Amino acid sequence: MEIIIQPTQQAATDVAARLIARLLIAKPHAVIGLATGSTPLSLYQSLISMNLDWSQATTFNLDEYIGLPREHPQSYHSFMWENLFKHINIRKENIHLPDGNATDIPQFCEDYENHILAAGGIDLQVLGIGTDGHIGFNEPTSSLASRTRIKTLTKQTCIDNARFFGSEEAVPKHVITMGIGTIMEARQNLLLAFGSHKARAIAEAVEGPITSIHPASILQMHPAVKVCLDDAAAGQLQRADYFRWVYENKPQWQMI
């Protein structure tokens, strides 16, 4: 895991945006996994402002609420169109999001996995982290080998996401999410976290034991993970000084 700590959210976002830009330039037909929520908003704004060529790229989103109409302002379908897709030159047929209204959810999930495989696998997966350590919507105790499937959100995640829906009760309880096994097959993972409310989850993911109680900790087993943090999200890392030192002393050819 490479832990990149920057003084501000924008500086940490800039590092992440440069990584994605570099991938898209080196591999125009890259397959990019995307996340929703508050965390990637600044990343999407930076990517939009970079005017990159997405015409050959393919995307797969991590998750979607079950039962929300696509057009609902809080569906991840709406979120992605509003905050990224309508601003870039990606082809509609290259965009993939879980369908929260699929009539046969297990079949849809199997097909989603097969579409990822058919696209050649995910080159880079963008991730946020829940305060309970979830990645995608793989809540604590999710199988570390899980694939795309239905999950029930924890009460904590419903409380955290109530800000989008007006109340905890209005948050859909069920979601489709890529599994942890699916995420672990991405060739690179790029985890972003900003703010002191994420500090404990980040410390457990980076410095804690690998355990399904803290799903993000499995990323310690992935060979190519970058974690972009602002100072606040790094606030509980015991080795923060070491991570800063490593980043400041990178050899020139490794600079991002």
Catalytic: 132?
A: yes
Catalytic: 71?
A: no
Q: Does residue 219 contact residue 40 with C-beta atoms inside 8 Å? A: no
149 lies in the binding site for ligand F6R (CB under 6 A): no
CA distance 117 to 197: 35
* Nearer residue to ligand F6R within complex by CB, 54 or 79: 79
CA distance 27 to 52: 12
Q: Does residue 81 contact residue 49 with C-beta atoms inside 8 Å? A: no
* Nearer residue to ligand F6R within complex by CB, 4 or 62: 62
Give the active site residue among 64, 77, 134, 160. 134
Rounded to the nearest 5°, which phi and psi values hold at 31? -105, 120
Bridging pattern class, strands 225-230 and 124-127:
unpaired
* Nearer residue to ligand F6R within complex by CB, 10 or 56: 10
205 lies in the binding site for ligand F6R (CB under 6 A): no
Catalytic: 230?
A: no
Residue with the shortest CB distance to ligand F6R: 128
* Nearer residue to ligand F6R within complex by CB, 5 or 130: 130
Smallest separation (angstroms) from ligand F6R to the CB of 168: 15
Whose structure tokens read 């992440």? 16
Catalytic: 214?
A: no
- The residues that bridge with 189 in the sheet, in sequence order, are 125, 225
Q: Please report, as ranges, the residues that interact with ligand F6R according to CB under 6 A.
A: 35-39, 62-63, 128-130, 134-137
